[in-house]
């Protein structure tokens, strides 16, 4: 029925098809925009770059941190690449996180000063910041290395051992990423390592080596020997090699010192020692 003065109502079927056409056009437009964005826009979250994309950024950041942490009054140890497959990118999607640590040994009451100096020596675009919190009882450092790779550290202000970590955060896995590298053995050892081992009464050893490329060329390396028998008095045994060295830390649990441009770190574990020597960028 049509009232006088009013046009006939449009059939319901015609209205439904019009709405369907609008919805379909909207879906096509959104899909096209998403396709274009994925291929042209830079990633905005870590989940948009897989672990293979993140590893080169991680290594460059580790090299920059290694160079910044090296100083005459500190001893450093370069850590290996660690991979965790226990993280999740989404509630239903597993991921991979990679990290490398640089352990820095500092003299007493120098933790904050060391972190501030390291932050100042990192590249400007890392926007590194270091400071104290909790009324001066805690110290920390944070830097953004780009590519969603971060550098961070947090410790008590009285510590003499700082652990700075470079990490990728949780990323999608990648079939072409080499995540299970084996530590190579080293036959050509720094003289400072040979002398330290000789002072500890050890001449039978195999060292593994860690390496990172430095920002200005060359590489920094850490040579490590595990399972060295611990002498009864560690400090007394080391007297021949620390006479002209800068002692950074001297405790029953371990020593750290600088000799020339090398860092020597000795850590006690039960009845054995881990002896590490790190050579500066060269």
Question: Is pLDDT larger for residue 4 or for residue 247?
Answer: 247
Model pTM score: 0.81
Residue percentage of the chain with pLDDT more than 90: 66
Mark whether 254 and 142 lie in a shared domain: no
Mark whether 54 and 161 lie in a shared domain: yes
**Is residue 114 included in any domain, yes or no?**
yes
pLDDT, residue 71, reads 96
Lowest mean pLDDT of 32-41, 77-86, 236-245, name the range: 32-41
pLDDT, residue 260, reads 95
Mean of all residue pLDDT scores within the chain: 86
Mark whether 161 and 207 lie in a shared domain: no
Mark whether 146 and 201 lie in a shared domain: no
**Is residue 27 included in any domain, yes or no?**
no
Mark whether 129 and 190 lie in a shared domain: no
Question: Is pLDDT larger for residue 240 or for residue 173?
Answer: 240
**Is residue 12 included in any domain, yes or no?**
no
The pLDDT of 225-232, averaged and rounded, is 93
Mark whether 141 and 198 lie in a shared domain: no
CB atoms within 10 A of CB 112: 19
Of 167, 201, 219, the residue that ends a domain is: 167
Mark whether 190 and 113 lie in a shared domain: no
Q: Is the pLDDT of residue 185 over 80?
A: no
Record the tokens describing residue 237, joined without a space: 């045994």
Mark whether 152 and 114 lie in a shared domain: yes
Of 105, 135, 167, the residue that ends a domain is: 167
pLDDT, residue 89, reads 84
Of 140, 167, 194, the residue that ends a domain is: 167
**Structural domains of the chain, count:** 2
**Is residue 172 included in any domain, yes or no?**
no
∠ CA 215-265-221, rounded to 5°? 30
Q: Which residue segment(s) compose the domain that 267 sits in?
A: 185-279
**Is residue 15 included in any domain, yes or no?**
no
Q: Is the pLDDT of residue 39 over 50?
A: no
pLDDT, residue 256, reads 98
Question: Is pLDDT larger for residue 3 or for residue 281?
Answer: 281
Band of pLDDT at residue 85, cut at 50, 70 and 90: confident
**Is residue 24 included in any domain, yes or no?**
no
Mark whether 228 and 148 lie in a shared domain: no
Are 277 and 210 spatial neighbours (Cβ–Cβ below 8 Å)?
no
The pLDDT of 51-76, averaged and rounded, is 96
pLDDT, residue 18, reads 59
Q: Name residues whose C-beta falls within 8 Å of residue 220's C-beta, 6 or more positions apart in sequence.
A: 63, 66, 67, 70, 78, 211, 212, 214, 278, 279, 280, 281, 282
Q: Is the pLDDT of residue 4 over 60?
A: no
Q: Map residue 158 onto helix, strand or coil.
A: coil
pLDDT, residue 206, reads 86
For residues 87 and 90, give the distance between their C-alpha atoms in angstroms, rounded to a whole number.
9
Length in residues, the chain:
282
Residue with tokens 């120098």: 110
Pairing of strands 138-144, 129-133: antiparallel
Mark whether 68 and 150 lie in a shared domain: yes
Mark whether 199 and 107 lie in a shared domain: no
For residues 209 and 218, give the distance between their C-alpha atoms in angstroms, rounded to a whole number.
15
Question: Is pLDDT larger for residue 40 or for residue 271?
Answer: 271
């Amino acid at each position: 029925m049509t009232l006088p003065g009013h046009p006939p109502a449009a059939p319901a079927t015609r209205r439904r098809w019009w709405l369907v056409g609008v919805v379909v056009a909207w879906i096509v437009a959104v899909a096209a925009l998403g396709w274009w964005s994925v291929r042209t826009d830079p990633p905005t979250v870590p989940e948009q770059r897989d672990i293979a994309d993140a590893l080169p950024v991680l290594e460059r950041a580790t090299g920059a941190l290694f160079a910044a942490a090296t100083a005459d009054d500190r001893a450093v140890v370069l850590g290996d690449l660690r991979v965790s497959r226990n993280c999740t990118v989404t509630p239903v999607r597993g991921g991979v996180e990679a990290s490398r640590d640089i352990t820095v040994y500092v003299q007493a009451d120098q933790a904050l000063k060391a972190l501030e100096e390291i932050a100042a020596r990192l590249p400007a675009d890392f926007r590194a910041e270091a400071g104290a919190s909790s009324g001066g009882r805690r110290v920390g450092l944070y830097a953004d290395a780009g590519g969603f790779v971060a550098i961070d550290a947090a410790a008590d202000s009285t510590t003499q051992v700082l652990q700075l970590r470079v990490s990728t955060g949780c990323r999608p896995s990648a079939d072409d990423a080499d995540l299970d590298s084996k530590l190579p053995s080293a036959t050509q050892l720094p003289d400072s390592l040979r002398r330290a081992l000789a002072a500890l009464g050890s001449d039978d050893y195999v060292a593994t080596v860690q390496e990172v490329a430095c920002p200005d060329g060359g590489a920094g390396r850490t040579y490590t020997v595990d399972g060295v028998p611990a002498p009864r008095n560690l400090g007394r045994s080391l007297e021949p090699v620390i006479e002209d060295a800068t002692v950074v830390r001297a405790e029953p649990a371990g020593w750290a010192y600088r000799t020339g441009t090398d860092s020597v770190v000795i850590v006690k574990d039960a009845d054995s020692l881990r002896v590490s020597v790190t050579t500066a960028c060269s």
